[in-house]
Amino acid sequence: MNMTDTDSYRNMLAAVQAFHDKHDFRNTGGEELAYRVALMAEELGEISACVTKGKEREQLAEECADLFILLVGTAIAAGFDLDGEFWKKMQKLDARDSRMIGGRIRVSEFRDS
C-alpha cells in the first residue's frame, strides 16, 4: 500500500481485508457477527476507560482506531458498503434538528408526543 494514500477508505478497507485474509477470519469464526459485536463492546469499554480515567490522548486514539478497524471488518463480514452507508447517514443527520438536552447538544429525529 502506498502510504501517501492512507486517508482513502478503499485503502483502509483493503488493509482490513488483508488482515482478515491473513488470519482466515472467514473460516475461523472471526467474521461471526455476534463475536464482532462483543469485540466492539469490549473496545467501547476500553475507550470509556480512557476517558473516565484520564488516560493519554494517544491511548484514546489507539482504542478508537481499534473500534474503527472492527467496524470496517464488520462491514466486510456482513457484506455492506460502510463508505456508502456513512454518506447516506450523514445526509440524514444533516437534515435533522438539534436541541439542548441536559446542557448538551443532541441531534435526533425528535418526536413531540
Which residue, 72, 83, 92, is CA-closest to 19? 72
Q: Which CATH number do you get for residue 7?
A: 1.10.287
pTM: 0.85
DSSP string, 27-39: HHTTT-HHHHHHH
As a whole number, the mean pLDDT across the chain is 93
| 74: in domain | yes
| 105: in domain | no
Q: How far is CA 44 from the centre of its chain?
A: 10
Query: What pLDDT does 18 receive?
Result: 98
Query: What pLDDT does 7 receive?
Result: 72
Q: What is the pLDDT of residues 21-64, one digit of tens each?
A: 999 999 999 999 999 999 999 999 999 999 999 999 999 999 99
Residue 19 structural domain: 3-81
| 112: in domain | no
| 90: in domain | no
| 104: in domain | no
Q: What is the mean pLDDT of residues 3-32?
A: 90
**Domain tally for the chain?**
1
| 107: in domain | no
| 71: in domain | yes
Q: Who contacts 53 (Cβ-Cβ below 8 Å, separation ≥6)?
A: none
| 17: in domain | yes
> What are the start-end ranges of the E strands in the chain?
97-101, 104-108
